[in-house]
Copies of this chain bind each other. A is one copy, B any other.
Amino acid sequence: LDASLNENRTEIPLLGLRNYWYPAIATWRIRKKPRAISVLGEKIVLFRDNGKIFALADRCSHRGAPLSMGKCLYPGSGTVSCPYHGWTFEGGTGKLVAKLMEGSETPPPARAAVKPYPVQEHAGFVWVFVGDMEPVPFETDLPECITDRSQWFSISNWRTYNCNWRLLIDNLSHEQHAPFLHRDSPELLFQPIFKHATRNSTEELEDGRGIGHQATGGVHVTHYPGLGDFPPPQEAWYRVLKPSGRGKDMSEGSEATSKYGIKFRHMNMLPSLALIGRPNGNFFTCRFVTPVGENTTILFNLNLFRRRGSLVALMNSLKWVFWSSWAHDWLFSDQDKFVIERIRPGAEMLSRTDIGLTAWRWFTSTNARRPEAAAAAADPQREKAEASNVQ
Chain A residues close to B by CB (< 8 Å): 43, 58-59, 61-66, 69, 73-74, 77, 79, 83-86, 88, 97-104, 109, 111-112, 170, 175-177, 179-181, 196-197, 219, 222-228, 230, 232, 235, 338-339, 342-346, 348-354
Contact = CB atoms under 8 A, between A and B. Distances in A.
B85 A180 contact: yes
B344 A74 contact: no
A55 to B, nearest CB: 17
Copies per assembly: 3
A88 B226 CA distance: 11
Contact of A353 (B77, B102, B197, B339): B102
Given A73-B230, A85-B176, A100-B196, 20 more contacts: A59-B346, A61-B349, A62-B351, A63-B348, A63-B354, A64-B343, A64-B346, A65-B339, A65-B344, A69-B339, A73-B232, A74-B228, A84-B180, A86-B230, A98-B224, A100-B222, A101-B176, A103-B219, A104-B222, A109-B349
Contacts of A100: 180, 196, 222, 224, 230
A346 B348 CA distance: 38
* Chain A at the B interface: SS class: loop
Contact of A227 (B59, B79, B101, B112): B79
Nearest to A99: B351
Contact of A342 (B66, B102, B222): B66
B64 A101 contact: no
11 contacts: A62-B349, A64-B348, A73-B235, A83-B181, A85-B177, A85-B180, A100-B222, A101-B179, A101-B353, A102-B197, A102-B353
